[in-house]
Amino acid sequence: MNFVTVASFLYCLSPLVALLLVAGLRRSKNAMNWVGTGLGVFRLLFLIPIIDAVLIHATKLQPAIGFIDEFAIRVSTDWSGHRIWFLLVVDCCFLMSYFMRVGTARHQILIEMMLYACQAVITLYVITSNLLLANAMQASTALILFFIVRLSLGEKSSTASYISNRVLMTYACLAILGIVWSISEYTIVNRPGFPILELSPTTGASSLAIRLWMIALLFSVPLSPWSSWFNRAVVDLPEAVTMALVVFVSAVILRAGETYVSVYTDLPSAYKLLVYLTGVMGCVFSLASLFTVETRRAMLGCIPKFFLSLVLVGIGVARGGNLAVVYLLCLFIPIFCGVVLYSSSLSLNTNYQRVFVGIFLLFLIGFPGSPAYQIFSLVGGRSLEMGPGYALIFAVLWFSYFFSIVFICRRIFLDEETAAVGVETPLTKAPVLMTSYAIFMLLFMSFIALVSGRVS
């Protein structure tokens, strides 16, 4: 067992160690802050040798077929380039969430412990090469988030009950659907020592499997107007719970994109058109809802849902197995949502707060080099290649997005009655530290957007 293997093993187990530490220090009010900070630092240190081995010294990467490997006996992992970048994003987002509001004081320690468990299960879900285990991890994470959401606002909260039920039903059912899909699309082949799950060399992609995958893809992305639970989660849930939920949704979309690259690179044009039009509809409804809300958090919270809908647009215009825009969105959305939660909690009474929000909105508009600029460049380039109809739809989407960001700028800086989050949050207790970390997140987001495409 070499050093990289030991580092990957410790990286996966470190959230469980943090869980035990929080359980032992449950009487300390700042246990989660200190333990969470230590966990984030150690996980980044453990990830350094993995990055060095995979991204720098690796000669061959096969992310397209690596995650559909041993089915029953062996449990292997796949540290592909885009997965490592996503794990970096997960660590940065959870590190920020450990300084956020977690919920009611009555269940605070229990919620903190479940957040560590959630981080551990999401890590295993991202890196596992076992298709059956990945679906089990997805259902387990949905169950953990069910209890986190339910306890964060109190057992009797109707909002928490609605959101938790939607999350559990949606993603647990999708996990079951994933198992059914694997049985429809793959055949169990007996190899010496263990059975594996592989594509049938004669039949290829079956129509039943394609329909199952399409249903799973469309329901894994919270789209407007029918996925109202996501908007309510961003606005009403504690910030730490919202961060965990967004990271999980992004991980599910990442795995769905890997399935497309591995199996459905030649997806029929009718199915791709359906995915594309569904994404366009979600983008339009997301931007339209932005003009009807009152608080700053509800207004900024409409933008993550727009980018989630843009995932389907990216799949609809994808060429072959190139899903760089989907991978980039999965890296962008969790960090962006964390900065949204922090920006919406500021009262904007000081100049540095106004400067930070202005920088954040500049990132949203999409100056050259920013993630938004690269995302729209990729989608726009493919839209132009696919014909004038796609190009016209993209132009309307981009203009509507730009106009919406300008509207947000006017509401934030010129309308004094625009309310902030409206509740006391720990994000504002250390403004200099949190602002510095939020700026770091924006720069880090731009950095990984520039280099992740080379290894994805």
pLDDT band at 108 (very low <50, low <70, confident <90, very high): confident
304 with 224: CB under 8 angstroms?
no
Whole-number Å distance between alpha carbons of 138 and 398: 33
Signed CA dihedral, 182, 184, 186, 187: sign only = positive
Q: How confident is the model at residue 186, as a pLDDT?
A: 59
- Which residues share a beta bridge with 187? 198
pLDDT digits (tens, 9 = 90+) for 132-179: 788 888 999 999 999 999 888 877 788 888 988 888 888 988 888 887
Look at residue 426 and tell me whether its pLDDT is greater than 60.
no
Query: What are the tokens at 83?
Result: 């997965």
371-386 and 351-365 helices, crossing angle to 10°: 20
Of 103 and 115, which is predicted with more confidence?
Answer: 115
pTM of the model: 0.86
Total count of domains within the chain: 1
Whole-number Å distance between alpha carbons of 188 and 195: 6
Kindly tell me the burial class for residue 73, based on how many C-beta atoms sit within 10 Å of its own C-beta (0-12, 13-18, 19 or more).
exposed
Of 328 and 203, which is predicted with more confidence?
Answer: 328
Q: Which domain holds residue 426?
A: 3-454
Q: How confident is the model at residue 56, as a pLDDT?
A: 61
238: number of Cβ within 10 Å: 24
Spatial CA neighbour of 91 closest among 31, 135, 158, 39: 39
Where do we find the tokens 């606002």?
Answer: 153
Query: What are the tokens at 27?
Result: 């009487």
Q: How far apart are the first and last CA of the chain?
A: 27
Query: What one-letter code names the amino acid at 119?
Result: Q
How does strand 194-199 pair with strand 186-191? antiparallel
Helices (H), 25-157: 31-51, 63-66, 81-97, 108-127, 131-152
Whole-number Å distance between alpha carbons of 326 and 217: 12
Query: What are the tokens at 298?
Result: 């509800």
pLDDT digits (tens, 9 = 90+) for 309-339: 898 888 888 876 677 788 888 888 888 888 8
Query: What are the tokens at 194?
Result: 């263990």
Grouping H, G, I as helix, E, B as strand and the rest as coil, residue 197 is strand
